[in-house]
Amino acid sequence: MNQIQASAETPIVLDATDVVKNYGARKALDHIDISIRAGELVALLGPNGAGKTTLFQLLTGLFVPDGGTIRIGDADIRRNAVPALAGIGVVFQQPTLDLDLTVIGNLRFHANLHGLNGREAGSRIDTELAKLKLTDRARDPARALSGGQRRRIELARALLHRPSLLLMDEPTVGLDPASRRDLLNHVVRLCDERKMAVLWATHLVDEADHADRVVVLHQGKVLKVGSPRQLVEETGAANLHDAFVGLTGPESD
Ligand code: ATP
């Protein structure tokens, strides 16, 4: 069994234990343990095919694991799906805005799904849009926004119901360097200010460098866990990039 341990003395928000997922004979996740505490940014760093998206599909209840348990806060995702899923905000790898709706229409739809209505929804939407510097685009159709702006709307949407765990699956794919940096900085602030637990999946080492802990996933197994500095020290590499390549082999693209 792979061991991943959080370090801080704060509540555990995500606790996944001995998680297994197979696609036929292929072991997509091979006995994974992962826990994240409030306020922690954990990077799930793995090359293509490592199992990152599969893990997200299990954490969001889209698929059921073949083995193991997943708890969000106090709720087991299989036994108590409603409170478990209510604690999660997700930004998926593929864009999921309705491009024909306005920005505010997209956000209101999501707020309604979570049982937020009227004033409360309006005030949370205003808050998140302001923090993401998108207030002036609220009435625009989502189609009129740039890729980076659309991603920020998806992040605002993921935060409306005040989740304790934010899941981001390769959220910077297709963004320019400035938009990538903005998104990452915003999420780092969410960890500090709202004590949100974040799992950020990526194959980009420079994004993992900003995490409190990095989980190196390869071919369905966790190879290493630690702060970026620990990973460099423990592998004897010159930097995190070299540590990652040393663990997982040469990059394929
Ligand atoms: P990427 O960075 O390319 O998105 P990933 O780390 O998210 O990769 P997954 O998409 O979780 O990796 O895939 C993990 C393994 O499971 C891969 O070998 C993939 O081919 C396989 N796999 C994923 N989904 C399916 C499926 N629906 N049926 C069969 N095999 C699958």
Question: What whole-number percentage of the chain has pLDDT above 90?
Answer: 87
- As given in the structure block, the two tokens for residue 157 are 């949407």
**Cα–Cα–Cα angle for 117, 187, 176, nearest 5°?**
110
Q: How far is the CA of 50 from the centre of ligand 1 (A)?
A: 7
Please say if the pLDDT value at position 8 is more than 90. no
**SS3 category, 148:** helix
Binning the chain into helix, strand and coil, the percentages to the nearest 5 are 40, 25, 35
Residue to mutate, 20, 23, 253, ligand 1, most ligand atoms under 8 Å from C-beta: 23
Q: Measured between alpha carbons, how far is 85 from 95 in angstroms, rounded to an integer?
A: 20
29 Cβ below 6 A of ligand 1: no
**Cα–Cα–Cα angle for 54, 192, 106, nearest 5°?**
55
Q: Measured between alpha carbons, how far is 178 from 192 in angstroms, rounded to an integer?
A: 21
Q: List the alpha helices (DSSP H) in the chain.
A: 52-59, 81-86, 103-113, 118-131, 147-159, 177-194, 205-208, 228-235, 240-248
46 Cβ below 6 A of ligand 1: yes
The DSSP symbol for 93 reads S
pLDDT tens digit sequence for 170-219: 999 888 999 899 999 999 999 999 999 999 999 999 999 999 999 999 99
Q: What is the pTM of this model?
A: 0.92
Residue 141's identity, in one-letter code, is P
pLDDT tens digit sequence for 235-247: 999 999 999 999 9
Residue to mutate, 19, 21, 26, 244, ligand 1, most ligand atoms under 8 Å from C-beta: 26
